[in-house]
Structure 1
Amino acid sequence: MKKQLASLSIILMSFAANAQEATPVAINMAPEKSYDRWSIELNGGLNKPTRAMTPGYSTSTLSPFHADLGVRYMFNPKVGLKLDFGYDEFQERDNTASFDSKYMRTSLQGVVNLGRVLDFETWTNTLGLLAHGGFGVSQLQSENGFNGKDYMSHGIMGMTGQIKLSNSVVLTGDITGIVHGQQQNNFDGMGQTTSSSFDGVLLNGSVGLTFYLGKNEKHADWFIEDKTSELEYRVGLIETGLVDSDKDGVADLYDLEPNTIAGVAVNTKGQAIDTNQNGVPDELESYLEATYGQKGSVATNGTVEQLINDGYVNVYFDFNSSKPTNASLSGVDFLVKYMKNNPSKSADIIGYSDEIGNSDYNQQLSLRRAEAVKNVVTSAGIDASRLNVIANGEDSSVNKNSAEARQIVRRVTFKVK
């Protein structure tokens, strides 16, 4: 009898450890790349309005009255977003009618790091190229022309060349074009536009400095992904995924139950075959019935009852939780099946907690755990009058400083009689 009990105990404990909801194999992602993402951009230079000027008024071919300030964030080494503010001043060129107007804009732009997209790193680690474009709002006002302020929308697009001076500072040169919509007045402020749709065009050329913010060695603008390491990582994932941990003939990459009991038949997804959906693999169920007899005869020799009463059948809980873990619900199923086959039997449902926290709280927690399991058992068809709930509070039989040991005592166990 003892040999039979030991043999059956090993099988059942193995089953309880492996029974779980079907979940895909967890695959760790590649390590997150470490690089800075924020930067501040300061620029100054030239402007040239190419349309929307009143006849007889003209600016210099290139006027040195442009400045802008921007803040940029890179989502990854290739794409980002920036918010920038621009200022331009327009004045007459020599021997033309005088005027003085001021222009300000705010733009939200997407940024593409062409240096990384085009693999500049294959020939230089010092030069870079950014493309940027987006939309915004603008304001034009005149000192001696129209009264008030002219508000308009705009689209903006440009290219920024980069020369890396250090890991923190970059010299830039930028060319930008801006097209305005709903512009009512010419840039000189001395007349109105002929069309309010898309009439004003402004060109900016500037040089400046970009300052990178952060504690990492490199900014995303200059971060070069190690494609060799990435390839090795992906090959490693494939090799790991093709391992068959439970030797059931289904690789872990495709195995929804990668730790089935050895020798148990599985389907094409690596799940143990359980035709009657009672939580016990068909082959294990057949073995139990062939070894210990059918249904009620199992209880006759007391083997299953002894397993239950000796604490081999348990339901486990996460820390501070009264919801049974999915992986341990097989213990409830084991009790339910036994009680259905033995309608004269009743059972104590005994709850425990670990020693962490207040003792009174843990007493109540052990009660809630026992009540939760009772609800599952009654929902499975066992009359509540056959079930008795007991709260045993804290189980101090294990080292309270061991997280693994505490997991063992956060449980509900059973006594059948």
Structure 2
Amino acid sequence: MKKSVIILAFALGLTGMNAQTEGNTSKNFNKWSLELAGGVNKPQKPFSDGYYTSTPSPWVGDFGIRYMFNNKFGLKADVGYNSLTNKKNSLEFNSKYYRADLQAVANLGRIMNFETWTNTIGLLGHTGFGYSQLRSDSFSGADEMLNFIAGVTGQIKLSNRIALTGDFSAIFNASQDRSFDGVYLPDNRGFSGVLFNATVGLNVYLGKHSKHADWVVMDNNSNNADLSALENKVAQLEEQVKKVPEKVIVEKPVTTTIVSDKDIVREMIDSKYYSVYFDFNKATPIENSTAAIDAVLTYLRKNPSANLDIIGYADQVGSSEYNEKLSNKRAQNVKTILEKAGISSSRLNVVAGGADTSIQKDSEEARRLARRVTFKVK
């Protein structure tokens, strides 16, 4: 009876959480970012005879602002500047190339499920059209063009607010009336101009939430940004459990059964209600798991004769040997937390559960639930 009530309460909590997060998915992460980068370029064509640049040639500057509709697709507007100068054994020239573009952005890291092997490396693809100008000491005024740009941007997350980037882009100019050196007048008015840029820079994430769309993993069905809503609901249910009186009287037709609060808590611990969760490839509990540790710690303090199995698990990504070590490290770290809180080491037994095969491995949200530590009271 007790287990049924607990399971029913938890199921109702999950239902309420799902109904709430489905309507608020877009509010769970930041969408705006600024992009700043600098680097080198290589104008490929057109050039007049005897004119060419170094490979690569400095320098390039780029600034953009990006908005993500979700964790996979977005738009960005950016402006760029290229300095085009001659190589030592080339005829001298000095040209400047300016552009402004509107581009579609695809978060290739999320589309290709990079989260299954890394939480710090990302990849963006971008492409679009814009307006550009070529100015040179060799002619007056500006050669005005339309351009098509496409590129890929590698990312290394330094923090939730900053990512280091490396970008390679190709730019194709339409209706380019002057060569990059400013001397030659091309006959081809199609996409005759070709320019390559390679830059290193920063993504600066804006917004009040802890994560940006670049690094948020959503479930394919519910589009839930992460487990934060679930963890908050768990914390709320734990608070409700703490309010259960010392004795609960359950009346039956013939007899009266008295169930103590500590028995309910023990059953909840053994039923894996109190679980400690971890980020991918990490052995430090996530912040919202402290409530579960506190509940188990309180039970051990109130029941000094009770011992505890601390069972660590990993998801099914990686080798079985690695997951065995990771699950053991997770359990050891939780044991250390309990020891520092005053629980004797002799009461705590670490069990390495390895990969939790009871949870499917094809869903990222399921894998998040697998990365945990559970408890068993003895």
Report TM bin, short chain.
0.5 to 0.7
Corresponding residue of 1:300: none
Note closer, same or farther for the CA distance 1:192–1:217 as it changes in structure 2 (3 Å cut): same
1:194 Cα offset (Å): 3.0
1:50 counterpart SS class: strand
Within 5 Å, give how 1:108-119 maps onto structure 2: 108-119=102-113
Note closer, same or farther for the CA distance 1:151–1:94 as it changes in structure 2 (3 Å cut): same
**For 1:92, which of 64, 86, 89 is the aligned residue?**
86
1:153 corresponds to 2:146: yes
1:124 corresponds to 2:124: no
Corresponding residue of 2:200: 207
Corresponding residue of 1:32: 24
1:29 Cα offset (Å): 7.6
Corresponding residue of 2:133: 139
Corresponding residue of 2:42: 48
Larger Rg: 1
CA–CA distance in structure 1, aligned partners of residues 221 and 100 of structure 2:
42
1:30 Cα offset (Å): 1.4
2:129 counterpart SS class: strand
Letter in 2 for 1:37: K
Note closer, same or farther for the CA distance 1:227–1:136 as it changes in structure 2 (3 Å cut): closer
CA–CA distance in structure 1, aligned partners of residues 194 and 149 of structure 2:
10
Corresponding residue of 1:334: none
Which contiguous aligned blocks of 4+ residues in structure 1 show a shift greater than 3 angstroms? 226-231
1:230 Cα offset (Å): 5.9
2:140 counterpart SS class: coil
2:22 counterpart SS class: coil
2:53 counterpart SS class: coil
1:31 Cα offset (Å): 3.5
1:197 Cα offset (Å): 1.4
1:115 counterpart SS class: helix
1:59 corresponds to 2:59: no
Letter in 1 for 2:206: L
Corresponding residue of 1:314: none
1:226 Cα offset (Å): 4.2
**For 1:196, which of 189, 196, 200 is the aligned residue?**
189
Within 5 Å, give how 1:215-254 maps onto structure 2: 215-226=208-219
CA–CA distance in structure 2, aligned partners of residues 97 and 165 of structure 1:
44
Note closer, same or farther for the CA distance 1:92–1:222 as it changes in structure 2 (3 Å cut): same
More strand by share: 2
1:228 Cα offset (Å): 8.3
Note closer, same or farther for the CA distance 1:45–1:230 as it changes in structure 2 (3 Å cut): closer
C-alpha contact 2:99 2:132 (8 A) present in aligned 1: yes
Note closer, same or farther for the CA distance 1:185–1:210 as it changes in structure 2 (3 Å cut): same
Letter in 2 for 1:32: N
CA–CA distance in structure 2, aligned partners of residues 43 and 230 of structure 1:
32
> Identity over the aligned pairs, expressed in percent?
50
1:187 corresponds to 2:172: no
Note closer, same or farther for the CA distance 1:92–1:75 as it changes in structure 2 (3 Å cut): same
Letter in 1 for 2:22: A
Q: Deviations over 1:77-96 (max 9, x none)?
A: 00000000000011110122
**For 1:171, which of 153, 164, 167 is the aligned residue?**
164
Work out the number of aligned pairs and report it: 204
Corresponding residue of 1:107: 101
Letter in 1 for 2:71: P
2:119 counterpart SS class: coil
2:188 counterpart SS class: coil
C-alpha contact 2:22 2:222 (8 A) present in aligned 1: no
Letter in 2 for 1:191: Y
Corresponding residue of 1:401: none
Corresponding residue of 1:78: 72
1:201 counterpart SS class: strand
CA–CA distance in structure 2, aligned partners of residues 93 and 194 of structure 1:
25
Note closer, same or farther for the CA distance 1:218–1:230 as it changes in structure 2 (3 Å cut): closer
Letter in 2 for 1:126: T
1:192 Cα offset (Å): 1.2
Q: Deviations over 1:240-280 (max 9, x none)?
A: xxxxxxxxxxxxxxxxxxxxxxxxxxxxxxxxxxxxxxxxx
CA–CA distance in structure 1, aligned partners of residues 217 and 115 of structure 2:
7
Note closer, same or farther for the CA distance 1:230–1:161 as it changes in structure 2 (3 Å cut): closer
1:121 counterpart SS class: helix
Q: Aligned Cα RMSD in Å?
A: 1.7
C-alpha contact 2:135 2:142 (8 A) present in aligned 1: yes
Letter in 2 for 1:59: T
CA–CA distance in structure 2, aligned partners of residues 113 and 196 of structure 1:
34
CA–CA distance in structure 1, aligned partners of residues 190 and 131 of structure 2:
14
C-alpha contact 2:173 2:192 (8 A) present in aligned 1: yes
CA–CA distance in structure 2, aligned partners of residues 29 and 223 of structure 1:
14
- Unmatched runs of 5 consecutive residues or more in structure 2: 1-18, 225-378
Q: Deviations over 1:176-213 (max 9, x none)?
A: 00011011000111211231211100000000001000
- TM-score norm. by structure 1 comes to 0.47
Letter in 2 for 1:43: A
- TM-score norm. by structure 2 comes to 0.52
1:147 Cα offset (Å): 1.7
CA–CA distance in structure 2, aligned partners of residues 48 and 92 of structure 1:
11
1:227 Cα offset (Å): 5.4
CA–CA distance in structure 2, aligned partners of residues 161 and 213 of structure 1:
19
1:157 counterpart SS class: strand
C-alpha contact 2:44 2:196 (8 A) present in aligned 1: yes
Letter in 1 for 2:99: R
